[in-house]
Structure 1
Amino acid sequence: MTTHQIPNSATVKAAVNIRTAWGMTGLVVFLYVVNFADKAILGIIAQPLKRELGLSSTQIGMVGSLFFLTFTIGGFLAGPINKYMTLRWGLLLLAAMWSVTLLPLVISASIVTLIAGRMVLGFAEGPSSALMHTAAYSWHPPAKRGLPGALLMGSGSIGKILLAPILTAISVTFGWRYAVITLSILGLAWSVCWVIGWREGPFTGRTPKTPHADLVNMEPSVPWRTIFLSRTFVSCCILTIVVYALTTVVLTWLPSYFEPGLGYSAMQAGSMFAIPSVIALILMIGSSVTTDRVLLRGGKSRTSRIIVPCIGVFIGGTILAVLPMINVPIVAVAVVSVGYAAVSMAFPLLNAAISEICPPQQTAGTMGVYLAVMAIGGLIAPYATGVIVDNAVSPAVGYGQSFQAIGILAFLAAIVVLIFANPDRDRAAIRGDMP
C-alpha cells in the first residue's frame, strides 16, 4: 500500500516560507479569537440579559446548552464543506453567518430571539473548529502541530484576556447591545483580512492545487469506520467531552460565578474572566512546544500527545474537586483558574493526536466528527449548572458543586485514555503500515 511521506525538515524549510506559514496560522488564530468571543458573549451579558428579560439561571443554562446542540449538528458538516468548498470560502461563509446571527437580539430582545440567535450561531460555528484546525495544519507537518494547535485552542484564552474586559466595559458603560454590535464589526474586520491574505498550505492531502502540493504524495483514503472506531479516537472523545463541558461552563457561567456567586462587581467579574485564560494559555503553549520538540527528536506520540495531557487532567480535576470546600473568594478564583487551566492543556495535544491517525485529506472530516462529539459536553453542562445553581443553598455552593462534578469526571476519563489511547499504534493500523 502506498503511504503518505512527510517531507524532512530541510525540504519543508526550503519549500515553505516559515514566515508565510505562521502568518497564515495567525489569520486562523484571529478567527478563532472572534469565534470564542462569540461563544463567550452570553456569559458576559448573562446578568444584564437575565435582569432585562426576567430569566432564571436554568433558562440561561438552557440557552447555553441549545447553542451546543446545533453546534454538535453543524460539526458533522465540516467534511462536506471541506470537500465541496475551499477553506477560503468555507470559513468566510461561516464567519459571515456568525457576524449577523445575534443582531436580531439587538433589535428585539426576547427569549425567542435569544434562543434562535444562539442556535443559528451554534450551527454556523459547529464546522468551523475542524476547518480552522485543517487550515492551520495545512501549513505544518504532523510532528510540529502541537504549537499551532495550542495557539488555536489558546485563542479562546486570548479572546478572554483581550476581549472579555473590553466587551464587559462596553456592556457596563453603554449596554449589552453595544457589546454584541462590537463583535459583529470584529467579524467583518477578520473577513476583509482573510479574503486579502489567506492561502492554503501544502499539508492538506489535496490533489495539486497549491504552490507546494508536490511536497505531499497523495495517500489513499481509508474507511471512516477504521478511524472512528479506533481506540485512540473513542477514548479521546470520552475525555474531550468532559474537558469541553468544563469549557462551556466557564464560557456560560464564570462571570456569574464571580459576580453573584463570590460577590465581585460586574466590572471585576469581567476582568477576572481572563485570569483562568492567562494560566491556560501559558500551560497549553508550554506543553505543546515541549512535546513538539520531543517528537522531533524521535519521541513517541503516546508520550507527548496522551500521557502529558492526562497528567494535566489529573492535576486539574483534583484541584476542581476541592472547590466547594473553599470559602475565601480570592482563593476560589485561584482554584478554579488553575484547575481549569490544567485540564484545558489537553485540548491541543489531543487534537494533534487525532490529526495524526488519519490520512491528510481526511483531516477535516475526522476533526469535524471528533469536535462534534466533543460538543456533547456543551449540551449538558451549561443547563445542568443552571439547575444546580437554582437548587443550591447559595449560588457560590451551586457553582462549586458543578465544577467539582466536572473535575471528578475528567479525572476518570483521563484514566480511560491512558489505558486505551495510542496514536502510534492506531496510525499504523488505520493507514496500513503494520506488517
Structure 2
Amino acid sequence: MAVRAPRPPAAPGRTDTPGSVRAWVIVGMLVVLMGLNYADKLAFGLAANPIIDEFDLTATQFGLANSVFYIPFFIATLGVGFLADRTSTTWLLGGIAVLWGLSQFSMVAAAGLGMIIFARLLLGASEGPTYGLVNHASFTWLKESDRSLASSLLSAGGSLGVMVGAPVLTWLIVDHGWRMAFIVSGAASILWCAVWLFIGREGPLSDRRRRAGKRGGDSAGAGAERGPDAGRGAAPASAAEPGPDPGFWRIVTTPTFIAVSLAAFAGNWSISVKLAFMPLYVQNVLGLTEHETSLYIVVGQLFTMLCVYVALAFVIKTMMARGHSGRVARGVLGGACVLFAGACMIAFVLLPGLPLKLAVSILAALVLISFPVGSTVIGQITPTRRRAGVLGTYAALYGLAGVIGPFVTGLFADAGATEAAGLDNGLLFWGALTLVCGAVAIAFTRPERDAERLAARAAAESADR
C-alpha cells in the first residue's frame, strides 16, 4: 500500500489576496468602526447640558471629565500598538469595540462624577489605539498603491460618524433622554464587534500570516508585500520588506517619521481647537446663529470627507500608480496641503467679510490629509512586524495636540484685551504652527531614502553579527 505524500498548503484564494473584494470589505468594516469611534466621543459633548443639570456639575468638573479622557488615551495607544506586533488585530479591534460599548453603558449607570470619570477613562483607554490599529489591519490586506486611499477612507469614517451621529444622537437626547444616546451608541459598538468576529481576519500581508506560511512551506506570502506595484512609487528593497530588523528607535528617529508626526500634530491641533473654540468664535465673534453654526459644521465635514479624504486620496493614488515617488506624491503634496491650511487659518483672522472668512476656514481642513499621508508613509519605511508599534507611537505623538491645543488657545483667549482679540491671537498661533509643520513635512518627508538607509543599516548590522 503506497504511502500518500502530504499535500502542500493551498495557496491563498482569489478572495484572500491583496486588493481583493474581501480586502475592501474589511476596509469598509474598519471605516464603520472609525465612524462609531467619533460618534461615541460626540455623545458626551452633545449631552453636556442635561448631564451638567442632572448631576449639578460645575464647569470645572465637566472640564475634568473631558480632560481625563486623554490620560489613558496616549498610554493605551503606545501599549496596544506594540501588542499588535505580536497579537492578532482581529481580536484587538473586537475587544476595543466591546470596551467602547461598556464605557457607554457605564455612563447610563452613572450616579455621580466618579462614575462619569470612570466611563471617560475607559473610553479613552479603548479608543486611543484605534486609528493606528485600523491602518495596520487594512495595510495587511492592500498593495502599497492602495494604502493611501484606504487610509483616507478610514479618516473619512470619522467625518461620516460626526455627520450621521450628530443629528441622530441629538434626536435621541431631546426626545428620549441623554441616556438613550449612550445606550444606542454602546449597542452599536457591541453589534459591530459581533459582525467583525465573523468577517475580520489577518490579511495576507500580515507578518503573522507570512511566518505561518513559511512554517507550512507556503512561499506565496513571502514576497506578497512587493506585489505588482514593486518599483512603482514603492521603496524597492526597503525597510518595509522582509529582512533584517532596523529596530524601533531607528525608525522613529528618521527625519521622515518626525516630519509626518509633526504634520499630523498640526492636523490634530486643528481638530481639537475647532471642536473646543470654533463654535464659540463663529457665534460670539462672527455673529452666527446656532442653526447657521450647525450648517457651517456640516458643510465643513462634507468638504473634509469628499475633497480631503476621498478626492485628494485618489490624486495621491494616481500619482503613485504613475510612478511618482512617495517623496513627491505624499511628502511634497501632503506637506503643501498642510502649508496651505496654515495660510488659510491666518487669512481667516485677517480677511474682511463673513463669507470669505468661512470659506477659507473650511479650506483649512486640507491639513487633515496629514493623517492618511503619515500612516502610509510610515507603512513605507517600517517592517510589517514593527508597523503596529510605530503607528501607535505616531498616533500618541500627534495626539498630544489634543491636550495642548485647547489649553494654549484658552490661554490666548484669557490674555487678550477682549474675547475676540484673544481668540484671534490663538487662531493666528494655530496658523503659524501649521505653516511651520507643513514646511518641515515638505523638506524632510523622504520615505524611499529613509527606507533604504534603514534597510542598509540593518543588513550591515546583521552581517556583522
Interval containing the TM-score (normalised by the shorter chain): 0.7 to 0.9
Give matches, 1:103-118, under 5 Å: 103-108=105-110, 110-118=112-120
Q: Is the 8 A contact 1:29 1:151 kept in 2?
A: yes
Verify: 1:215 aligned to 2:221, yes or no. yes
**Structure 1 residue 202 displacement after superposition:** 1.2
1:376 counterpart residue number:
400
CA distance in 2, matches of 1:49, 1:396: 29
Aligned to 2:373, which of 349, 356, 372?
349
* Larger RCO of the pair (alpha carbons < 8 Å, separation 6+): 1
- Change in Cα spacing, 1:328 to 1:111, as seen in structure 2 (3 Å) is farther
Corresponding residue number in structure 1 for 2:451: 427
Q: Once structures 1 and 2 are overlaid, which stretch shifts more, 144-153 or 413-422?
A: 413-422
Structure with higher Rg: it is: 2
Contact 2:303–2:362 under 8 Å retained in 1: yes
- Counterpart Cα distance in 1 of 2:415 and 2:61: 13
Cα offsets for 1:57-82 (capped at 9, x unmatched): x6655544432232111111133331
Moved more, 132-141 or 31-40: 31-40
Query: 2: distance between equivalents of 1:394 and 1:182?
Result: 41
CA contact (8 A) 1:306 1:422 kept: yes
Cα deviation code 1:323-373 (max 9, x no counterpart): 34468666554443221x211122211221111101122111110111111
Cα 1:41–1:248 shift into 2, 3 Å: farther
Task: Summarize deviations over 1:228-275 as a string: whole Å, max 9, x none.
Answer: 111111122222222112112334455555566666565664554332
**Is this contact kept in 2: 1:164–1:271, CA < 8 A?**
no
**Structure 1 counterpart of 2:228:** none
Q: Extract unaligned runs of 5+ from structure 2.
A: 1-12, 224-241, 461-465
Q: Single out whichever of 410-419 and 132-141 deviates more from structure 2.
A: 410-419
Alpha-carbon separation, structure 1, partners of 2:416 and 2:51 = 22
Query: Structure 1 residue 400: deviation in Å?
Result: 4.8
> Matches of 1:15 and 1:122 in 2, distance apart?
34
Determine if contact 2:246/2:454 at 8 Å carries over to the other structure: yes
Could you say which residue in structure 1 is the equivalent of 2:23? 21
Residue number among 124, 127, 132 corresponding to 2:126 in the alignment: 124
Residues 157, 274 of structure 1: 8 Å contact kept: no
Q: 2:235 maps to what in 1?
A: none
Structure 1 residue 102: deviation in Å? 3.4
Match of 1:313 in 2: 338
> SS of the counterpart of 1:85?
coil
Q: Quote the residue 1:322 is aligned against.
A: 347
1:116-144 CA distances to partner (integer Å, 9 max, x unpaired)? 32222111112222111111111112222
**Residues 86-165 of structure 1 aligned to structure 2 (within 5 Å):** 86-108=88-110, 110-165=112-167
Please tell me whether residue 297 in structure 1 is matched to residue 322 in structure 2. Answer: yes
Counterpart Cα distance in 2 of 1:258 and 1:182: 31
Between 305-314 and 315-324, report the one with greater CA deviation.
Answer: 315-324
Secondary structure of the corresponding residue to residue 214 of structure 1: coil
For residues 185-240 of structure 1, give each alpha carbon's deviation from its aligned partner in whole angstroms, at most 9, with x where no partner exists: 21122112101111221122223447998333443322111101111111222222
TM-score by length of 1: 0.86
Q: Which residue type is aligned with residue 58 of structure 2?
A: L
Tell me which moved more, 145-154 or 99-108: 99-108
| Map of 2:76 onto structure 1 | 74
Correspondence for 2:3: none
| Cα shift at 1:27 | 0.7
Distance 1:395 1:110 in 2: 33
> Counterpart of 1:343 in structure 2: which amino acid?
V
Unpaired segments ≥5 residues, structure 1? 1-10
Q: How many residues align?
A: 423
What is the deviation of 1:409? 0.5
Contact 2:308 2:369 in 1 (8 A): yes
- Identical positions, percent: 25
Query: Aligned residue for 1:246?
Result: 270
Equivalent AA in structure 2 for residue 162 of structure 1: V
